Amino acid sequence: MTSVDFLGKAIEIVKKATEEDNNRNYEQAYKYYSNALDYFMTAIKYEKNEGSKETIRKKFTEYLDRAEKLKKYLNEEEEKRQRKAIGANDEDETDPDIKKLRSALSTAILREKPNVRWDDVAGLEVAKEALKEAVILPINLVKNLFGMARDCVPSIIFIDEVDSLCGQRGEGESEASRRIKTEFLVQMNGVSAESTGVLVLGATNIPWQLDSAIRRRFEKRIYIPLPDLAARAKMFQLNIGNTPCKLETNDFKNLGEKTEGYSGSDIAVVVRDALMEPVRKVQTATHFKQIDAPCRDNPEITKQYLTPCSPGDLGAKEMTWMQVDSDSLLEPELTLKDFIKAIQIARPTVNADDIKAHTKFTTDFGQES
């Protein structure tokens, strides 16, 4: 991709954000603004023209200011809702410790998918473990988490990488971890016995490392296998999204056939690498030619662009991408060859032994999806 593509995508998303903003759909508008700001930042990074870069910065600042105002408004509304929900319990109103714990939990409840995991923080293992024990794992937070879920029924408690919280008990674990597991077992028993409208979901890549008592509390143990051919083909389409490409239905099927054994994450890596191929072609091109293509700002009219070409192409001019004005540069569309090249580089992260281990666990304790 080029900087123009990122800018065009940013403008497209901002239009949606403005429309939702005008319709008072502030939560959706905030999501669009946040997404657009990422594209604006990337456009600034790759923009070579200082004048254009300054213009983009001004727009970025303008939309950032609006996004921050929306975020502040949404947070205030959420705090009001949380205070109202918590205030329904007279006992909680009079108990300062429970009020403090619930206030801490309310700020940890996410309304959208987060982008950061523990593994994304490099190093600092001692600090991360200390934080887990001091903030995330305390026994009272587990108890109050389930209490809040019961107050807001129907609700779902989702625990990703549940093995890290509920691994097998042994001599090497700390007293804090042991007490956490005990409290978790107690709360899980309460959820099962009361039929409270609270659903507890756990996800793990290593289910055989779960403590046996925890495993029994999860009544359904469903094996999610690697995506099949149809699913892999669909994943390529979803990951490509609206990016211009020359792939047909049979091409997606072909890609699905070539990625047997790939997980959804593996396919996302392949697509991200393939999306960079047009950039590489632009950077390594020695010749460019003029073509007519729909204008990025107004697709209803055509505009002349320069795009990479073979030295033998009609109208080919010897030049590098640095000599082409950013507004006049058009990168090649994605092709099947770009994806084939990416597949040859990116190998699957799941091997046969991993699948055998999951199959054995499913045979012993679980059920297939």
Instruction: Give 192-231 pLDDT, tens digit per residue.
Output: 666 668 888 999 988 998 888 888 888 888 998 999 999 9
Q: Over pLDDT 90: what percentage of the chain?
A: 20
Sequence length of the chain is 369
Q: Is 254 strand, coil or helix?
A: helix
Q: Where are the domains of the chain?
A: 3-84, 96-110+122-222, 229-349
What mean pLDDT comes out for the span 282-301? 88
* Nearest alpha carbon to residue 337 among 262, 281, 285: 281
What mean pLDDT comes out for the span 139-166? 83
Q: Which DSSP symbol is given to 122?
A: -
- What pLDDT, on a 0 to 100 scale, did the predictor assign at position 61? 84
Residue 269 to residues 35, 127, 226, 252, 339, Cα–Cα distance (Å) = 20, 30, 15, 16, 11
- What pLDDT, on a 0 to 100 scale, did the predictor assign at position 271? 93
Distance of alpha carbon 293 from alpha carbon 274, whole angstroms:
23
Q: Is the pLDDT of residue 6 over 90?
A: no
- What pLDDT, on a 0 to 100 scale, did the predictor assign at position 55? 83
Q: What is the pLDDT of residues 8-24, one digit of tens each?
A: 888 888 889 888 888 88
Q: Which residue has the higher pLDDT, 345 or 193?
A: 345
Q: Which residue has the higher pLDDT, 154 or 258?
A: 258
Q: What is the pLDDT of residues 55-68, one digit of tens each?
A: 888 888 888 888 88
Do the Cβ atoms of 225 and 369 come closer than 8 Å? yes
Question: 266: exposed, middle or buried (C-beta count within 10 Å: 0-12, 13-18, 19+)?
Answer: buried
Q: What is the pLDDT of residues 93-151, one digit of tens each?
A: 556 777 767 776 666 666 565 566 656 666 666 666 665 655 555 667 788 888 888 88
CA-atom Rg of the chain in angstroms: 26
Confidence bin at 234 (pLDDT 50/70/90): very high
Among the CATH numbers 1.10.150.120, 1.10.357.10, 3.60.10.10, 1.20.58.80, which is that of 3-84? 1.20.58.80
What mean pLDDT comes out for the span 284-294? 91
Q: Over pLDDT 70: what percentage of the chain?
A: 81
Among the CATH numbers 3.40.50.450, 3.40.50.300, 3.90.380.10, 3.90.226.10, which is that of 96-110+122-222? 3.40.50.300
Q: Which residue has the higher pLDDT, 179 or 147?
A: 147
Distance of alpha carbon 21 from alpha carbon 69, whole angstroms:
12
Fold of 229-349: Helicase, Ruva Protein; domain 3 (1.10.8)
* Nearest alpha carbon to residue 30 among 42, 39, 21, 19: 21
Angle (CA) 224 192 366, round 5°? 25
Distance of alpha carbon 242 from alpha carbon 240, whole angstroms:
6
Distance of alpha carbon 226 from alpha carbon 232, whole angstroms:
9
- Mean pLDDT across the chain, nearest whole number? 82
What's the whole-model pTM score? 0.56
Distance of alpha carbon 217 from alpha carbon 162, whole angstroms:
12
What mean pLDDT comes out for the span 288-295? 90
Buried b / exposed e over 171-198, threshold 16 CB at 10 Å, is: eeeeeebeebbebbbebbeebeeeebeb
Q: Is the pLDDT of residue 88 over 90?
A: no
The two beta strands, 155-160 and 198-203, are parallel
Confidence bin at 4 (pLDDT 50/70/90): very low
Q: In 153-306, which ranges are continuous DSSP H helix?
A: 175-194, 212-217, 229-240, 249-258, 264-275, 277-284
- What pLDDT, on a 0 to 100 scale, did the predictor assign at position 1? 41
* Nearest alpha carbon to residue 48 among 327, 339, 359, 344: 327
Rounded to a whole number of angstroms, the distance between the first and last alpha carbons of the chain is: 38
Confidence bin at 2 (pLDDT 50/70/90): very low
